[in-house]
């Protein structure tokens, strides 16, 4: 079994969600919203040119109402390393309440509050994980496995970058998560 086939066989450990909203800007950038278990709404950014699926499906092929296993690239503002002996907590989520204007066919129909969730920490599974000939840090978050850019992490952590080890915790401030790959084919909406 190839490395990619092994990674796809482990897709169940990665983030799994139902695509409930898909907005496109400039025919290349997508703002996706996935509904995860426990009513968690996860916003995800994607560039159609970067997404690689099990069948080579690009971002435009993602369909609202279908479930996907996702390989997400977490893009933190500030990354902090907590070694195993530093009293680090469990991987967590933070929720942000966003005000949005709801529109219908007649125009504006009022405001709504949308509670979006973002992973803010992850336990390192593999500090030097490979995907599509790129090196990442594989982490277990509160919602499933995701990756961090290894080079960006080294820049943030500076002298502590050499200490990265499986079992340690990384914490970050929110910025965004990007869709790096769809790990399996789409399945009809039931999770």
> What's the number of domains the chain is made of?
1
CA distance 96 to 176: 12
Question: What digits encode the pLDDT tens for the residues 41-58?
Answer: 999 988 755 444 434 434
Tell whether the model's pLDDT for residue 191 goes beyond 60.
no
More confident residue, 9 or 166: 166
Element at 73 (helix H, strand E) = strand 66-75
Largest Cα–Cα separation, the chain: 58
**Complete DSSP assignment for 89-146:** ----EEEEEEEEEEEETTEEEEEEEEEEEEE-EEEEEEEEEEETTEEEEEEEETTEEE
Tell whether the model's pLDDT for residue 12 goes beyond 50.
yes
Q: Which two tokens stand for residue 131?
A: 């995907």
CA 48 from centre of chain: 16
Low-confidence winner among 6-15, 107-116, 166-175 (lowest mean pLDDT):
6-15
Nearest to 90 by CA among 142, 145, 35: 142
CA 73 from centre of chain: 5
Question: What digits encode the pLDDT tens for the residues 129-177?
Answer: 998 889 999 999 999 999 999 999 999 898 888 889 999 999 998 788 9
Tell whether the model's pLDDT for residue 112 goes beyond 80.
no
Global model pTM greater than 0.75: yes
Q: Is 176 helix (H, G, I), strand (E, B) or coil?
A: strand
The domain of 22 spans: 3-188
């Amino acid at each position: 079994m190839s490395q990619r086939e092994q990674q796809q066989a482990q897709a169940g450990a990665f983030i799994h969600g139902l695509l409930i909203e898909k907005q496109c800007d400039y025919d290349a950038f997508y703002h996706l919203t996935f509904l995860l278990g426990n009513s968690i709404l996860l916003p995800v950014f994607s560039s159609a040119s970067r997404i690689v699926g099990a069948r080579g499906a690009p971002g435009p092929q993602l369909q609202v109402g279908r479930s996907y296993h996702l390989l997400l690239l977490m893009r933190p503002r500030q990354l902090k390393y907590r070694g195993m002996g530093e009293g680090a907590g469990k991987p967590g989520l933070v929720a942000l309440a966003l005000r949005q204007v709801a529109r219908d066919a007649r125009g504006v129909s009022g405001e709504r509050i949308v509670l979006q969730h973002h992973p803010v920490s992850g336990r390192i599974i593999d500090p030097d994980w490979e995907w599509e000939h790129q090196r990442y840090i594989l982490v277990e978050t509160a919602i499933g496995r995701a990756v961090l850019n290894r080079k960006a992490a080294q820049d943030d952590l500076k002298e502590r970058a050499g200490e990265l080890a499986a079992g340690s915790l990384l914490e970050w401030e929110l910025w965004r998560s990007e869709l790096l790959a769809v790990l399996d084919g789409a399945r009809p909406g039931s999770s």
